[in-house]
Amino acid sequence: MPKVRDRWAIANWKMNLLPSQTAGYLERLRARLQETQVSVAVCPPYPHLPAATAAAAGSRIRIGAQNLSDRLQGAFTGEVSAAMLQDVGVSLVLVGHSERRRLFGEDDALVAAKMRVALEHGLCPVVCVGEGLQERKVGQTQLWLQHQLQPLWEVAQAFPQAPWLIAYEPIWAIGTGEAATPSIAQETIAFIRVQAEQHLGDIAATLSILYGGSVDPGNASPLALQPAIDGFLVGGASLNPEAFAAIAEALGAAEA
């Protein structure tokens, strides 16, 4: 059966670069991606979004946000709503990134609530899950992931036609330079795939599951060759448009 899942390369700039650098970055990225057929998205910080959506107009590059509020509007100082993101031209949004969970206390219930709000507003949520080093060491990776995934299945069942993505990001591999081996990434994402099939049935056939965690041009090719991996959520390496383009190209080459 031919693969029906889209392949994705998503850049997460985190709190890096400046709004004034956004247009130049996207111009360089567009020049490199003309022959690449994978889906590409860039997620800059909030202040960069207007410049990013303008610079990406007319291209294949989609612009995403790094977070959103679970509230629709009101007295929530410092928050950004789904409607605001939609109005500025954003089409996808990261939800539940490990740094949001670890540094800002976002739990599984809040992540699911944000996923629901994103879907209600026509945004494609990229929902992040992953275990820490302690869970990996004691053999509880699958149990940890099941807890994180359970509320997501319930939201997805309420929006069977809406697109969304999962990004598996082992916390012990984020920003450390130590990516999960291709076999570890393959085994874990294959487990997530089985869980999706059990809870979503036929819907799971089009659900892309990405890997994130110290992906760079040097390790992208062996990771991209793993059949369970549908793409990458890229952090530090995505700050250089040529490096990020090389990662997207590795995905395209693995699919060819």
Q: Which residues are catalytic?
A: 97, 169
Q: What's the gap between Cα 234 and its chain centre?
A: 8
Contacts of 241 by beta carbon, 8 Å cutoff, 6+ apart: 25, 26, 28, 29, 32
For residue 164, the one-letter residue type is: W
DSSP tag of 175: S
Cβ neighbours of residue 77 closer than 8 Å, sequence gap 6 or more: none
Q: What share of the chain is helix, strand, coil (3-state, %, to 5)?
A: 50, 15, 35
DSSP state letter for 8: E
Task: Tell me the C-alpha to C-alpha distance, in Å, between residue 36 and each of 136, 159, 251, 256.
Answer: 35, 30, 9, 11
Euclidean distance between the first and the last CA atom of the chain, given in angstroms as a whole number: 16
